[in-house]
Amino acid sequence: MARDELGAEELLRRADRAVHRFKESGKNGWAFFDPRIQDRATERLETLSALRGAVERRELVAHYQPIVDLETGRAVSVEALLRWRRPGFGLVPPLEFIPLAEETGLIVPLGAWVMREACAEAESWRRAGAADVNVCVNVSAHQLMDQNFENIVAGALMATGLEPEGLTIEVTESSVMRDPEGSIAKLTRLRDRGVGIALDDFGEGHSSLSHLRRLPVRGLKIARQFVQGLSDGDDALVRGIVELARSLGLRLVAEGIEEPVQRERLEALALPPGPGLPVLAPAGAGRDPRPADC
């Protein structure tokens, strides 16, 4: 509904911006044009343009979050997290560029960079004396469905010299279910080569035992929301996941432990020690979106 004296071309342009805005939040909705939409669109284009050259300009950086065994307190692996050091903006939060990379397909080259960088770091740590270090890399649905995914993983291992056992790929069930047959086949072949496969955010979304039986995983990561619920004494779901992991002989990672009571409850649920013993991600580690929760 135009109240200004605008030409047809400008009216259509504004309508298109409004349509794009409401599509971002789902269907069956409506939106009025807001001048701020134009500002966000311009900012989006600028971010996308800068992100396209981030790899070549060496603006990407990987941070590593240790994963600690609850029983021994020893770091057993690390998770690679993608960050973008954008000139003039500092360290850009993942939520400001990862969704855009997912939407545009840029997540594939970004993910390839993370894969190789993480493997290189892990191999350097091994040469420095940490012989059993393992690095975990998050992989998105777009990466899984890419026809070169297996070659990217194999190429990263070959180029860096890291043994396949030193790498664990983390996927969410929703990512795998975009193309279950193709994704499971790829993950199984990588598993057979020695690469570890873990299921991230377990219990969130549409997790099912039938899917779990088909996936070639050796570990589960409890969704953060369930770990947070331990502070209020809500441990029913975590208890069930612990028992499931123990019965299947899977390693279990509890994500986002930030309070002593959460750790205490997990330690109590994990006893007696055995397969599926929960592992602690350090307090204040933060949470990234897929992949690069990376």
Output DSSP code: residue 95. Answer: G
* Strands 196-202, 167-172: pairing kind: parallel
pLDDT of residue 232: 80
Question: What pLDDT is stored for residue 257 in this prediction?
Answer: 84
**CA–CA gap between residue 269 and residue 263 (Å, rounded):** 10
In single-letter form, the type of residue at position 17 comes to R
Write the DSSP string, 5-43.
Answer: ---HHHHHHHHHHHHHHHHHT-SS------HHHHHHHHH
Q: Is 203 left (phi over 0), alpha (psi -120 to 50) or beta?
A: left
Helix 260-270 vs helix 236-248: angle between axes, to the nearest 10 degrees? Answer: 40
Identify the burial level of 8 via C-beta atoms within 10 angstroms of its C-beta, where 0-12 means exposed, 13-18 middle and 19 or more buried. exposed
Q: Write the CB contacts of 207 (distance below 8 Å, at least 6 apart in sequence).
A: 173
Instruction: Give the DSSP letter of residue 62.
Output: E
Taking the C-alpha atoms of residue 142 and residue 176, their distance in angstroms, rounded to an integer, is: 10
List per-block mean pLDDT (blocks of 10 residues) for the chain, which spans 294 residues. 75 78 68 68 79 89 90 86 91 86 90 96 92 90 94 97 96 88 94 94 69 84 85 82 86 86 84 57 43 33
Q: What domains can you pick out in the chain, each with its CATH number?
A: 61-280 (3.20.20.450)
Q: Tokens at residue 219, please?
A: 């570990």
Angle between helical axes of 149-160 and 107-127 (0-180°, round to 10): 30
Residue with tokens 């997990």: 266
The rounded distance, in Å, linking the Cα atoms of 82 and 121 is 13
- Say what the pLDDT of residue 36 is: 67
Tell whether pTM > 0.75. yes
Check residue 146 and give its pLDDT.
94
Please say whether the beta carbons of 145 and 182 come within 8 A. Answer: yes
Residue 55 has a pLDDT of: 85
pLDDT computed for residue 38 by the predictor = 61
